[in-house]
Amino acid sequence: MHVNFKAEWKKRADLVEEGLLRELKKVPAYDETLEKAMEYSLMAGGKRLRPVLLMAAADAVGKDGAAFLTTGCAIEMIHTYSLIHDDLPAMDNDDYRRGKPTNHKVFGDGIAVLAGDALLTLAFEVMLRQEGAAPETLVTVVSEMSRAAGPYGMVGGQVLDLEGEGRRLDLAALRKIHMGKTGALFCAAIRSGAILAGAKEEELAALTLYAERFGLAFQITDDILDVTGDEAAIGKPVGSDVRNEKATYVTLTSLEEAKKLAEDAVDEAVVALDIFGERAAFLRDLALFLLGRKK
């Protein structure tokens, strides 16, 4: 892993922090409480992984990924909406997120639902603010994002996740859940960065494979952290999967087997980047980082 990997990540994440607040404030919300609720979760910190991946994918293709920060901010809004809704009593019923009370604990269930709705819809307006991209390219990106966020991606995966609680699933069923719930948005981030940067067909295919394997490794390590993680480091209670009777890669295999599955997925992700050479160094480091992450 390159010495300056974490510094590069922080630099990109800082750009996202600035960009999110700027995009959020461009048009005042209809109501002050709504604006506060949106900002509360959107600006609560986090790894900013999806916009960072979007920019890094554009870098790999040979463009300056920071030029597509606006679209990166939009995907972070979609991700934040999903977290607000995931935490609701009707879903995962979590009290803390990133070390702070969840949105519904501060603003109530109704406002939390609407804050999530508002962030999701605002995201598509923000996407269309992206400069330096042809209109047809933006239409393609909007299509990528909407498909990943909707019934064929994240929402569909979330439904399967809810239906799977308390049921005995096999690995294929678990994989389908997480390809939608977690993997789809990773794929959309990486593919959108590549599309905005003008990726050739071969490059887009390689980055899509990377995204799929990255998403799988991320979910497996997430399942591992729910068993082995430190609550203070993660910023939310551990053991929620067991509490909600959810099938995970750990419960369907074992802790050691889950770690091996994550290692294999990371290896495949790294190999997929071979055609990019050093331009994809940051993406390689991100994949390797998953194996040792603590939060």
Instruction: Give me the pLDDT at residue 231, please.
Output: 58
d(CA 86, CA 80): 10
- Domain ranges in the chain are 5-291
pLDDT digits (tens, 9 = 90+) for 109-118: 999 999 999 9
Instruction: Give me the pLDDT at residue 180, please.
Output: 95
**What is the average per-residue pLDDT within 41-67?**
96
Instruction: Give me the pLDDT at residue 242, please.
Output: 55
Instruction: Give me the pLDDT at residue 293, please.
Output: 77
Calculate Rg over the CA atoms of the chain.
18
**What is the average per-residue pLDDT within 53-77?**
98
Identify the residue whose tokens are 């390590």.
221
Instruction: Copy the structure tokens of residue 78.
Output: 């979609």
- Cβ pair 38, 29 in contact under 8 A: yes
Share of the chain above pLDDT 90, in %: 81
CATH no. of 5-291: 1.10.600.10
Name 80's Cβ contacts closer than 8 Å, sequence gap at least 6. Answer: 41, 42, 116, 119
d(CA 244, CA 93): 9
Identify the residue whose tokens are 């809810």.
162
User: The pTM is what?
Assistant: 0.92
Strand ranges inside the chain, DSSP E: 96-97, 100-101
Instruction: Give me the pLDDT at residue 295, please.
Output: 66
pLDDT digits (tens, 9 = 90+) for 194-248: 999 999 999 999 999 999 999 999 999 999 998 886 555 545 555 555 555 678 8
The letter for the amino acid at 93 is: N
Instruction: Give me the pLDDT at residue 241, please.
Output: 56
**What is the average per-residue pLDDT within 20-38?**
93
Q: What is the mean pLDDT of the chain?
A: 92
Q: Which region, left, alpha or beta, applies to residue 167 given φ > 0 means left and ψ of -120 to 50 means alpha?
A: beta
Instruction: Give me the pLDDT at residue 229, please.
Output: 63
pLDDT at 13 over 60: yes
d(CA 73, CA 54): 10
Instruction: Give me the pLDDT at residue 232, please.
Output: 54
Identify the residue whose tokens are 């999903």.
82
Share of the chain above pLDDT 70, in %: 93
Instruction: Give me the pLDDT at residue 166, please.
Output: 83
Q: Could you tell me which residue, 105 or 1, shows the higher pLDDT?
A: 105
